[in-house]
């Protein structure tokens, strides 16, 4: 069994992994840049190591990270999400240095990170994929020819992309002409390769993904699906498990399809198979994320499975704690990504000092965060500063609890997406569970909220500040 884990990440997800380590009796090791010297994950880890003054380079250096792990006598490295989590080089170095990488084999990361190879693997496994190019596009003329064959609109995508980057929709040839070089540039800057491909654009789809787990003993299961349709510029805002938009037949179908996809590539550890569901209820494979997802919390909430702990068990060579027949779900869970952004200013990042913070609580409420009162959110990283996960047995009750919990949480000193989410929970389409990936674009009125704080909230914040000052 793994005894000591270096967490190759920061912020909220590092804190989450540290908590799993503590419950399993495993020593946790944090890394931090100068910008993260006072971060919560550094305070909570058993050990911590400085990785340099530059805010990013240390987190993106696989050799430096593995060297620290070896020096600290770690058994394993957990990459979290983002940074190097889907970088096959980190997994390769771990394999060479006898450090267990808590994730799939480097070859699988590389294969599924290449969207062309991933598409081919799914086609061979008879899993439906979106019509598109058979390989990378070599020229603008080739792109135009393929687009004319499959019909507009189309999506230009970075082959090695992820996280919503390197993606452009083109509704006609003029837009294809103007976006072609732009996507190549984005792909090169973000992923180090100018490789792009074309897919037919599925209009107003629902974004449905399935959590899978697989061990080295041929055990493969799914933990049901998540609905990630509420997103902005291909970045998820709200995630729901299970999808209130699917019936049980669809739920079982897509779950089994995801397990089949994992088996097709001999997948091991935790992964997510992402699908698009069109207006005729057809499912199409989109991509496979070979890592822990931001939104894993909603799956844990409805199933009771600790996904991070299962990741550690798998990496230790143990069997899964569950078989498929052991997995069931109860109720609904919603995760709100609390971002340090101002929705009224086109979601402009709002970094700075948190003058007062208090989390939500009560039944069915989970908070994953890396912030505290006095913490200064640095401008170098993702704007998400907390995740609020809500659970209730009934969909409408979950929405009502979400309203209550979003009203409970207090983050002062910066702008956040909290009031925006409160508006979403009032929207009738959302309440009726009728939404797709165009939801945000078709509801611009969601930013027209009153950003004046209620008197009772202001009074509570002032009282808390006075109490803190007086040492009460």
Say how far apart CA 439 and CA 223 lie, in whole Å. Answer: 26
- Identify the active-site residue in 10, 291, 313, 366: 291
DSSP β-ladder status, 154-158 and 167-170? antiparallel
The verdict on whether 403 is a catalytic residue reads no
Sort 354 into a burial class: Cβ within 10 Å, 0-12 / 13-18 / 19+.
buried
Say how far apart CA 231 and CA 335 lie, in whole Å. Answer: 12
Q: Which of 8, 107, 102 is nearest to 313 (CA)?
A: 102
Sequential DSSP letters for 257-297: HHHHHHHHTT--EEEEEEEEE-TTS-EEEEEEE-S--TTHH
Say how far apart CA 439 and CA 341 lie, in whole Å. Answer: 19
Contacts of 390 (CB under 8 A, 6+ apart): 333, 334, 335, 336, 364, 365, 366, 398, 401, 402, 405
Q: How many CA atoms lie within 13 A of 392 on its CB side?
A: 15
Say how far apart CA 95 and CA 62 lie, in whole Å. Answer: 12
User: 386 with 12: CB under 8 angstroms?
Assistant: yes
SS3 assignment, position 408: helix
Read off φ and ψ for residue 35, nearest 5 degrees.
Answer: -65, -20
Say how far apart CA 215 and CA 311 lie, in whole Å. Answer: 9
Q: Which two tokens stand for residue 211?
A: 């959590």
Helical residues (DSSP H) of 409-454, grouped into ranges: 418-426, 428-431
- The residues assigned a catalytic role are 291
């Amino acid at each position: 069994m793994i005894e000591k884990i270096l967490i190759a990440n920061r912020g909220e997800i590092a804190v989450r992994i540290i908590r799993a380590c503590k419950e399993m009796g495993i020593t946790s090791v944090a890394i931090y840049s100068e910008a993260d010297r006072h971060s919560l994950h550094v305070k909570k880890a058993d050990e911590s190591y400085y990785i340099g003054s530059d805010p990013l380079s240390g987190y993106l250096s696989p050799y430096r990270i593995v060297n620290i792990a070896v020096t600290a006598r770690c058994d394993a490295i957990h990459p979290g999400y983002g940074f190097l989590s889907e970088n096959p080089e980190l997994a390769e170095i771990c394999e060479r240095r006898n450090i267990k990488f808590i994730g799939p084999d480097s070859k699988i990361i590389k294969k599924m990170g290449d969207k062309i190879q991933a598409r081919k693997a799914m086609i061979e496994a008879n899993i439906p994929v979106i019509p598109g190019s058979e390989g990378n596009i070599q020229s603008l003329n080739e792109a135009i020819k393929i687009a004319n064959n499959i019909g507009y609109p189309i999506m230009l995508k970075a082959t090695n992309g992820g996280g919503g980057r390197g993606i452009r929709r083109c509704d006609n040839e003029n837009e294809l002409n103007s976006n072609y070089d732009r996507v190549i540039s984005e792909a090169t800057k973000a992923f180090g390769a100018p490789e792009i491909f074309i897919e037919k654009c599925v209009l107003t789809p629902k974004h449905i993904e399935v959590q899978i787990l697989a061990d080295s003993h041929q055990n493969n299961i799914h933990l049901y699906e998540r609905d990630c349709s509420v997103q902005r510029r291909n970045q998820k805002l709200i995630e729901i498990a299970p999808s209130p938009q699917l019936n049980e037949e669809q739920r079982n179908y897509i779950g089994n399809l995801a397990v089949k996809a994992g088996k097709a590539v001999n997948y091991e550890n935790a992964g997510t198979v992402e699908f698009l569901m069109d207006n005729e209820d057809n499912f199409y494979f989109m991509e496979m994320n070979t890592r822990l997802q931001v939104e894993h919390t909603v799956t844990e909430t409805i199933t009771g499975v600790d996904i991070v702990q299962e990741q550690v068990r798998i990496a230790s060579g143990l069997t899964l704690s569950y078989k498929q027949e052991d997995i069931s779900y109860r109720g609904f869970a919603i995760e709100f990504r609390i971002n340090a952004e101002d929705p009224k200013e086109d979601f402009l990042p709002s970094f700075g000092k948190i003058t007062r913070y208090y989390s939500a609580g009560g039944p069915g409420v989970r908070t994953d965060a890396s912030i505290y009162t006095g913490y200064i959110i640095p401008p170098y990283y993702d704007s998400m500063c907390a995740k609020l996960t809500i659970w209730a047995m009934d969909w409408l009750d979950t929405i009502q609890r979400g309203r209550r919990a979003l009203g409970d949480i207090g983050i002062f000193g910066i702008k956040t997406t909290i009031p925006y989410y409160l508006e979403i929970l009032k929207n009738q389409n959302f309440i009726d569970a009728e939404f797709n990936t165009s939801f945000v674009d078709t509801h611009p009125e969601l930013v027209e909220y009153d950003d004046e704080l209620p008197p009772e909230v202001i009074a509570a914040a002032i009282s808390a500040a006075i109490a803190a000052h007086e040492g009460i």
